[in-house]
Amino acid sequence: MSTDKIAATLGEGTFGKVACIEDLEKDETVALKIIKNVEKYREAAKLEIKALEKLLELDPDGRHLCVKMLDWFDYRGHMCIAFELLGLSVFDFLKNNNYQPYTIDQVRHISYQLCYAVKFLHDHQLTHTDLKPENILFVDSGYDTVYDSKKKKNVRRIKSTEVRLIDFGSATFDHEHHSTIVSTRHYRAPEVILELGWSQPCDVWSIGCIIFELYLGITLFQTHDNREHLAMMERILGTIPYRMAKKSKTKYFYHGKLDWDDKSSAGRYVRENCKPLHRYQSCDDEDHRLLFDLISLMLEYEPSKRITLGESLRHPFFDKIPSHLRLGSYERSHSLSR
């Protein structure tokens, strides 16, 4: 470490912090995730390293857009993981831009890469389980300042929408123990809340929530309570299937119906702040219609009926991805699913 110099702190979390480190010997700058010397975080870091090593073995060139681990070591009980240095997260960029949403073409490219990266995990029996805008980083968050005549103010326009997926601390292999509750609240799938067990489709639900947020600049499910979360889902997406309600051992249902008082202040809050999904569409052209069609397929209640990421990449919403930005074998679809 003697030839390394800490240049800046990039972020802090419950686990520890991420610092920007200049390696003076190699003349390169890396992001170093420094984990607190606390048993549960150390154990989580070991699991993350295991997942990252597997990804490195499967995809040594990083073609599938997952962040690349360069090295890891234990420094006096602190697990440290070195990564390639990336830009801001799509969330931080949005926040710094006063929550001015991304353009539909930017949403399309970011979503396409996200589906592609997570499909790679799914193809190798992994579920990320913590997909959220904070875990999608721009490779370079350089931007132009442009004048928005509608908003009558300057806004930031990202120059390159190339992204990488990060944070594999909760990534779970199919054969491993699946914790009952996964995901950050707002991106949590119904089967997780209802404790019905989960697998890869829970990532697809999270991606549906993320795409909505990139498009509108607001969180789809802004809540901190399970029952309220389920009430919001019903207001936005319709009634939770009877099968799921009956099968759930949780206390949120009564005779297969959500136990929720519409007349309460929480009930009023949900009614006033949520509306059926298609009513969030800001424009009625084909592009926007296809975007909402994809989101609605990702936000299907029944995990077994939810669209997969392979199917998502062939959805007509992605037909407009220019050929130089296409990844793998996802050439233009000429499907009849329009």
Contact present, 43 and 49 (Cβ < 8 Å): no
- Does the CA dihedral 188-193-198-204 come out positive or negative? negative
* Listed residue (209, 211, 189, 213) closest to 200, CA to CA: 189
In degrees, rounded to 5, the angle at the alpha carbon of residue 247 between the alpha carbons of residues 293 and 232 is: 45
130 is annotated as an active-site residue: yes
Report the amino acid identity of residue 254: Y
Token pair listed for 258: 């959500």
- Does the CA dihedral 267-270-273-278 come out positive or negative? negative
* Listed residue (184, 2, 10) closest to 83, CA to CA: 10
Structural element, H or E, at residue 115:
helix 104-123
* Listed residue (215, 167, 159) closest to 31, CA to CA: 167
Token pair listed for 11: 């972020």
Residue 78 has a CB neighbour count (10 Å cut-off) of: 17
Alpha carbon of residue 178 to chain centroid: 19
**Does 257 count as an annotated binding residue?**
no
- Catalytic-labelled residue, pool 4, 74, 130, 167: 130
Token pair listed for 158: 């990202």
What residues does 145 pair with on adjacent strands?
Answer: 156
Residue 139 is given by DSSP the state S
- Catalytically active residues are 130
Please report, in range form, the residues annotated as the binding site for ATP.
33
